[in-house]
Chain A
Amino acid sequence: MVDVPYDGIAGIPPAEVPDVELYHPKSWWTRYVFSQDAKVIAVQYSLTASAIGLVALVLSWLMRLQLGFPGTFSFIDANQYLQFITMHGMIMVIYLLTALFLGGFGNYLIPLMVGARDMVFPYVNMLSYWVYLLAVLVLASTFFVPGGPTGAGWTLYPPQAILSGTPGQDWGIILMMASLILFIIGFTMGGLNYVVTVLQARTRGMTLMRLPLTVWGIFTATVMALLAFPALFVASVMLLLDRLLGTSFFMPSLVEMGTLSKYSGGSPLLFQHLFWFFGHPEVYIVALPAFGIVSDLISTHARKNIFGYRMMVWAIVGIGALSFVVWAHHMYVSGMFPQFGYFFATTTLIIAVPTAIKVYNWVLTLWRGDIHLTVPMLFALGFIITFVNGGLTGLFLGNVVVDVPLSDTMFVVAHFHMVMGVAPIMVVLGAIYHWYPKVTGRMLNDVLGKFHFWVTFLGAYLIFFPMHYLGLLGVPRRYFELGDAAFIPPSAHSLNAFISVVALTVGFSQMVFLFNLVWSLFRGEPSGGNPWRATTLEWQTPETPPGHGNWGKELPIVYRWAYDYSVPGAEQDFIPQNQPPRATRAAQGAAS
């Protein structure tokens, strides 16, 4: 065979490097604290989210102590238990997962993966973090105000959320609303950056269909969040006005403590519509980045191109669109017009189709792949299993007739922890093991990592799988103690004690992880620029960790998609996205 080098790059003008007005830090303060560099902002977001997430983790231990051993711990009373539930849920869903996926991974990975020097509005990006930090501080301050944090449940349903008798009625609920409003303002600033950077700052050759799925996931989730968070904003503002100025947007007329309250005529159902119009897309705002990241982890660590890339992209977009028309499946028992339930059950079940496509594609990517059981891969596999489990119980709960008896039982708790608690956290942990070498230049310790994985994965399964059975028995959620109900057998109490012991164990294994993060920062094995031999652009930076402006003098040019693993005839089992075609074709010619 005549070796004709493929002349793909002839006749193309040299890369024009647009004069980006990069911001240059002048002092330690502007380099590490008030930094406008997306990579620093990403680390700030991640550390803040993890710190407040640890608070939520401790709250879950306290809840488990009470549930597993009721009456043993006198320092937990019923009001505190409700406060723990509320804060645990709110922190985990919004202040940890949303902030970590979009503010943390989004900030770090989007500019690097699309080949940009930074986010397009660095100053706004910096503001976004500081407003987020303020929101977190306002939220944390509720632990110290008179009356403590609100105990209204993370859904904050009125009228109960702002009536006396609910813990935190004085300050807790007000600061909660203020914190949410701040969070949404901060997120909007960040979100504008993520969207416009993907639209406008992609390097040359990076068409949408060459984007890594991580970017697709984060991009779509950000678009959804920008459209969904305003609903929470509207709900928070109106509830705050009801509480502070005595308006009756949501508050019906009712008798409070024996006296007729000042409210009249409001609609609690309106709040639920607004809340879940945000709340359901929120599930996918957390899930889509996880979907994207896990696709890249599986492909890289199985040394195989992702199966059905196009389908994966369409599924992400399809899930994003569909998730806006399923919100009322959270409201089957709310007293809304019953025929709504039929419509929303249908859309809910339809959304299982693109989700199932994604699961099949992950499994088919693994099929006959060169699977390396690295820690990121283990977490990715753990994600698939917990996500399938949580997704299947979602099919149960999506049907009105099955949902009605299961509403407000532990079954629901088990379902949503599996699908949007454990599953996305698996991806977060896997992604940290995967990208830590890029952020710090050092590998995380492998032995500690494997220990962390097995305890977390098996433990999380042992916690949440048995909860389904508690739910089927009818054990209610949100109850401080179960008492002597006839339908709850003694075995349910022993099961609760077992779950609590496992929960504490899993919690402590996270301390091993934290130790690993700090220890490896100083003592970890140096990783080099591309330890996983991955194709995407962030692994091709001239420096590791990437320097200011990411790419030396010239921006990379992209010649191929992100999944050229194990290409037959190629020199190595991966071809970076910025490697020109000529080099590989010549290698192929030599090989044949």
Chain B
Amino acid sequence: MSAIVLFLAVIAVIAGWWLSHQRLTAKPWLEEGPIGDFPGTDAMTWPAAKIGLGVFLAVASALFVLFISAYSMRMAMVDWRALPVPRLLWFNTGVLVLSSVALQWSYVAARRDDTDGVMIGLLAGGAAAIIFLAGQLLAWQQLSAAGYFMASNPANSFFYLLTAVHGLHLTGGLVALGRTSAKVWRHDAATAEMRLSVELCTIYWHFLLLVWLVLLGLLTGWTDNFVDICRQLLS
């Protein structure tokens, strides 16, 4: 459970930093008065959707970190047999990186009011994400063809489970990406709303890329030493 405790410590630091700017030491019973006396303490000015995405990313991170916590605890049992990672995953990772790059392209284009560039970036990013998902399914097929079934070993179970959870998050992202593309399709010029949608998609894509890289490190065993250290911290 050390992974999730570390993650919560990070969240606590962020929350503490934010709260420290909110005048929590104020004495509100003495501070009758108009607005504007306390600059910086009013409601956040970011768009609600952006804050909402930030909060959602924290929740999704908690979910993945908890899976990782469970992984690291289950890994310590004697029956754990690491499975060979299919080569295909490297190709998939490359495609997911391209997908993220395409969305970044789209985001830059949106800031330049280049609607065509936005559309190209979104479509390329979406296509790459779909290829990634197909590649993941193919990797599952290869593994089960080689006899690594879901229930035959906990390492296999976690492999299927983690890739599935990541894939489902990406599928959800594709829905948002589709809606954003429809929005761009309807307008000729870039609007603030469109820019925001593209930006949020881009942030989410980078987040899922980061999650995938962490999961890949875990599944390939690169991070085993780190996991060991974490486990020893609390036992």
CB distance from B47 to the nearest CB of A (A): 8
Q: Is B150 an interface residue (CB 8 A)?
A: yes
Q: Is B66 an interface residue (CB 8 A)?
A: yes
Q: Is A274 an interface residue (CB 8 A)?
A: yes
Q: Is B52 an interface residue (CB 8 A)?
A: yes
CB distance from A335 to the nearest CB of B (A): 14
* Contact present for A238 and B161 (CB under 8 Å): yes
* Contact present for B44 and A200 (CB under 8 Å): yes
Q: Which of A77-85, A226-234, A486-494 contacts B (4 or more CB under 8 A)?
A: A226-234
CB distance from A430 to the nearest CB of B (A): 24
Q: Is B141 an interface residue (CB 8 A)?
A: no
Contact partners of B27 in chain A: CB under 8 A: 310
Of B1, B26, B161, which is within 8 A of A273 by CB?
A: B1
Q: Known pairs A196-B52, A561-B29; list 18 more (Cβ under 8 Å).
A: A8-B33, A120-B48, A192-B55, A196-B51, A200-B46, A200-B51, A202-B42, A202-B43, A209-B31, A226-B58, A226-B59, A233-B63, A238-B161, A245-B151, A265-B79, A310-B25, A558-B35, A584-B32
Q: Is A314 an interface residue (CB 8 A)?
A: yes
* Contact present for B74 and A199 (CB under 8 Å): no
Contact partners of B31 in chain A: CB under 8 A: 209, 560-561
Interface residues of B in 66-118 (CB under 8 A from A): 66-67, 69-70, 73-74, 77-80
* Contact present for A245 and B24 (CB under 8 Å): no
A313 in contact with B41 given A8-B33, A196-B51, A247-B157 (CB within 8 Å): no
The 4 closest A-B pairs by CB, nearest first: A265-B79, A205-B35, A561-B28, A120-B48
Interface size class of A (residues with CB under 8 A): 35 or more
A274 in contact with B62 given A12-B36, A201-B43 (CB within 8 Å): no
* Contact present for A226 and B42 (CB under 8 Å): no
| CA of A206 to CA of B29, assembled, Å | 14
CB distance from B164 to the nearest CB of A (A): 10
CB distance from A49 to the nearest CB of B (A): 22
Contact partners of A364 in chain B: CB under 8 A: none
Contact partners of A129 in chain B: CB under 8 A: none
Contact partners of B151 in chain A: CB under 8 A: 245-248, 262
8 cross-chain CB contacts under 8 A:
A200-B48, A207-B28, A207-B41, A208-B22, A230-B59, A310-B27, A325-B5, A560-B31
**Interface of B toward A, CB cutoff 8 Å:** 1, 4-5, 8, 11-12, 15, 19, 22-29, 31-36, 38, 41-44, 46, 48-49, 51-52, 55-56, 58-59, 62-63, 66-67, 69-70, 73-74, 77-80, 150-151, 154, 157, 161, 235
CB distance from B13 to the nearest CB of A (A): 11
* Contact present for B34 and A245 (CB under 8 Å): no
| CA of A270 to CA of B70, assembled, Å | 7
* Contact present for A207 and B23 (CB under 8 Å): yes
Contact partners of B25 in chain A: CB under 8 A: 310
CB distance from A344 to the nearest CB of B (A): 11
| CA of A331 to CA of B27, assembled, Å | 41
Contact partners of A274 in chain B: CB under 8 A: 66, 69-70
| CA of A384 to CA of B79, assembled, Å | 51
Interface residues of A in 244-268 (CB under 8 A from B): 245-249, 262, 264-267
* Contact present for A581 and B33 (CB under 8 Å): yes
* Contact present for A313 and B24 (CB under 8 Å): yes
* Contact present for A209 and B24 (CB under 8 Å): yes
Contact partners of A199 in chain B: CB under 8 A: 43-44, 51
* Contact present for A249 and B34 (CB under 8 Å): no
* Contact present for B24 and A208 (CB under 8 Å): yes
* Contact present for A192 and B56 (CB under 8 Å): yes
Chain B, Cβ-Cβ closest to A562: B28
| CA of A314 to CA of B15, assembled, Å | 13
| CA of A230 to CA of B30, assembled, Å | 41
CB distance from B178 to the nearest CB of A (A): 17
Contact partners of B70 in chain A: CB under 8 A: 234, 238, 249, 270, 274
A230 in contact with B28 given A207-B22, A273-B73 (CB within 8 Å): no
Q: Is A60 an interface residue (CB 8 A)?
A: no
* Contact present for A227 and B1 (CB under 8 Å): no
* Contact present for B67 and A234 (CB under 8 Å): yes
Contact partners of B150 in chain A: CB under 8 A: 241, 245, 247
* Contact present for B161 and A581 (CB under 8 Å): no
| CA of A575 to CA of B145, assembled, Å | 73
Q: What 0/1 pattern do residues 216 to 244 of A give for CB contact below 8 A with B?
A: 00000001001100110110011001000
CB distance from B38 to the nearest CB of A (A): 6
Contact partners of A200 in chain B: CB under 8 A: 43-44, 46, 48, 51
| CA of A233 to CA of B70, assembled, Å | 12
Contact partners of A201 in chain B: CB under 8 A: 43, 48
Of B11, B74, B80, B161, which is within 8 A of A270 by CB?
A: B74
Contact partners of A231 in chain B: CB under 8 A: 4, 62, 66
| CA of A550 to CA of B182, assembled, Å | 33
Contact partners of A458 in chain B: CB under 8 A: none
Chain B, Cβ-Cβ closest to A238: B70
Q: What 0/1 pattern do residues 304 to 333 of A give for CB contact below 8 A with B?
A: 010001100110010001001100000000
Q: Is A563 an interface residue (CB 8 A)?
A: yes
CB distance from B119 to the nearest CB of A (A): 25
CB distance from A242 to the nearest CB of B (A): 9
Chain B, Cβ-Cβ closest to A558: B35
Contact partners of A207 in chain B: CB under 8 A: 22-23, 26, 28, 38, 41-42
